[in-house]
Amino acid sequence: MSENPDLTDERLSGTFDINSMAAVIYGSDKFAQRRLEITEAISKIPELQDSRPLVFMSREEKISEACRKLSVLSNHWDSLIDTSDEEEALHLYREVLGLEGHPLALHETMFIPSLIAQADNEQQEKWLGRAQRREIIGCYAQTEMGHGTNLRALETTAIFDISTQEFILNSPTITSLKWWPGALGKSSNWSIVIANLIVHDKNHGPHPFMVQLRDEKSHELLPGITVGDIGPKMAFNGADNGFLGFKNYRIPGENMLMRHSKVTPDGNYIKPPHAKIGYSSMVKVRSRMAMDQGLFLASALVIAVRYSAVRRQGYLEDKSREVKVLDYQTQQHRLFPSIARAYAFIFCGFETIRLYDQLLIDVQNGNTSGMADLHVLTSGLKSVVTHQTGEGIEQARMACGGHGYSMASYISEYYGVAIAGCTYEGENMVMLLQLARYLVKSIEMIQNGKSKELGPMVAYLAEKESKVDLNLGPMEYLKVFQYAARNQTWRATEKFQKLRNSGMSNEQAWNQASVELTRASHLHTRLYIMSTFINHVGSVVDQKVKKVLIDLLNVHVTYEVMDIGIYVQGLLSSDQMDLIRNQLYVSLETIRPNAVSLVDSFQISDMQLRSVLGRHDGNVYENLFKWAKSSPLNEKDVLESVTKYLKPMMNKSKL
């Protein structure tokens, strides 16, 4: 009864059941329902609510608030969620702790998964249960001040001392300090540390080590370790990202994680079955990034679309009342393609998580053949999805006008957290070039008559061009994208080969062709996203949900093809491009009645959203005033700065 009638009208205009759509988004009706149940249960525990808006807290207060909530949660874990279900746990964290960081963030997403993937059975018996019961808090320390993406250049060393059966850890330079790991600065007492393994003066490259940082009882740092917080960041300031250095710090020999590689007591090094198997923790994070970034984008769109449905500005036909800004075509063009991308990213994310889970099973059975394919796939996805998510969130902020710039919208926090994904777990351009090496290798296989050996994701590179009939639906648009990605990949590869054949070194030729190569990777990845979107929509059973998803898919394919127009000039005529452009505008109109229902389907609660503009009830303005009055600056009518500086200045001016 208290809902803004403008939002009520929007919800009544929806043509599908949002709970049925949520089941499609999150993979099953069971999990979509569990999300609602968890949210409802959390709402009944007052101690889990924010004590005041996070945006008005200092960094130390945010960290303290997160720790307070974790302490409360420790009494409710088993009653709120199935603690063995990772998706339920992540939903709980998003609801209660939000996105500004907390001490268990890397503990759950990298520390425990690394123990599962890289610790042998004996090591798991020793540490995994303790970590899962949160008896210890861990993080993952890989990135250094001077090197991140280039793992081979990491400087931290772990020298094996045969006489004591210990590893000696050292940070030999200022640039070798571990830098950026979340929860490292003040919260963690253990860490998985990536260091160069040195045995008999031979460097075997980066390997993972289980390292205790602090006394488990006093939480004091152990001798030989330097640890601290790296300071405030663009966002994510509820997390104590830290630095870490070692000086002749000794750990037991059994603290090297040895599921895939090991050092025997006599100093014999046994290498892993696959060169990149140590990257499994990174691949794990990257496999989730498409979905996580999709949810960041979804959250910003919930805010922008709901606010656009209650914000009225200007007139169209009816001059008696200002129109909803969501009715403007420019606003729809700004927001609706991003809604389509959010759905596409989430669907794609679930697929890569499935592939990672299968990879874990394969590796444990001795089959590492899928490691390289998943590594390059997630590298490309991580780069494209983070970049497009950042663009989409910023458009959502601008779509909210002036109020979008206020922290009351909370969109800036979503942007700051999401855009960090462009650099963590591999800098985006480097990731695109890693994928490009795979694409170039695929072209060279075709050139050498080995097309039949191509993997399914690159088989299209060997196909001949074919005419397209855009009236036949999304699969024809997929052909357009295949044309663009195939031509750009061949063009970039041939440029690289020509430069190399001219006498340039391999490295120089690669650098001179790198912009064209990254463009090929970008197109290839967007092709994969479109393909998984089409396949996912095709598998939907509920016909009303499927109908609106097809409408959303039409927005996606037309917008994406318009966006790469320069790459399809040899395939599509100007008349065909005009047809696509007009179809996009028609698709925007088709989506309009379902816009609010589409974002409601993400099931993002007000508690998790933390946005005045994106409130579910749409009562923005009275709550915006209430929020502003809670600013700490309003606790005093006359600030000390006025009394101390401005009043004397004004009085002096009068004299």
pLDDT band with cut points at 50, 70 and 90 for residue 563? very high
* pLDDT of the residue at 215: 97
Take residue 597 and report the two structure tokens written for it. 């229902």
What pairs with residue 270 in β-bridges? 262
- Residue 425 annotated as catalytic: yes
Q: What does the pLDDT average to over 112-127? A: 94
* 422-449 tens-digit pLDDT: 998 889 999 999 999 999 999 999 999 9
Q: Helix (H, G, I), strand (E, B), or coil: what is residue 57?
A: coil
Q: Which stretch of 54-63, 172-181, 226-235, 346-355 has the lowest confidence by average pLDDT?
A: 346-355
CB of 251 within 8 A of CB of 169? yes
Query: Domain residue spans in the chain?
Result: 137-272
Determine the average pLDDT of the residues in 188-215: 97
555 Cβ contact partners less than 8 Å away, ≥ 6 residues apart = 336, 337, 339, 340, 584, 587, 588, 591
pTM score above 0.85: yes
Average pLDDT in the 193-214 region?
A: 96
> Are 334 and 399 within 8 A, CB to CB?
yes
User: Catalytic: which of 10, 166, 413, 425?
Assistant: 425
Average pLDDT for 114-142: 95
Give me the pLDDT at residue 361, please.
84
Q: What pLDDT is stored for residue 273 in this prediction? A: 74
Question: Which of 65, 70, 124, 75 is closest to 100 using CA atoms?
Answer: 65
Could you give the CA distance from residue 600 to residue 376 in angstroms, rounded to a whole number? 34
In the predicted structure, residue 284 carries a pLDDT above the cut 80: no
Sign of CA dihedral 97, 100, 103, 109: positive
Alpha carbons 605 and 270: distance in angstroms, whole number: 50
Token output for 382: 């991580």
Quickly name the fold that domain 137-272 has: Butyryl-CoA Dehydrogenase, subunit A; domain 2 (2.40.110)
- From the DSSP assignment, how many helices (H) and strands (E) are in the chain? 24, 11
Q: Is the separation of the CB atoms in 138 and 188 below 8 Å?
A: yes
- Helix or strand or coil: residue 579? helix
pLDDT confidence of 467, banded at 50, 70, 90?
A: confident
Token code pair at residue 259: 């599921």
Angle between helices 5-12 and 280-310 (to 10 degrees): 110
Pick from 618, 620, 626: nearest CA to 1: 618
Average the pLDDT over 439-467 and give the result. 93
Tell me the percentage of the chain whose pLDDT exceeds 70. Answer: 98
Q: Give me the chain's average pLDDT, please.
A: 94
Is residue 84 predicted with pLDDT exceeding 90?
no
Residue 182 labeled ligand binder: yes
Average pLDDT over residues 177-206: 96
Q: What are the residues facing 194 on neighbouring strands? A: 208
Does 281 score more than 70 pLDDT?
Answer: no
pLDDT band of residue 375 (cuts 50, 70, 90) is confident
Per-residue pLDDT tens digits for 219-232: 999 999 999 999 99
Sole residue written with tokens 């009706």: 29
Is the pLDDT score of 155 beyond 80? yes
Q: Are β-strands 190-199 and 157-161 bridged in parallel, bridged antiparallel, or unpaired?
A: parallel
pLDDT recorded at residue 276: 59
pLDDT band with cut points at 50, 70 and 90 for residue 528? very high
**pLDDT of 282 above 70:** no
Q: What is the pLDDT of residue 86?
A: 86
Nearest residue to 280 (alpha-carbon basis) of 249, 259, 311, 305: 259
First vs last Cα of the chain: how many Å apart? Answer: 60
Structural tokens at position 626: 């209430």
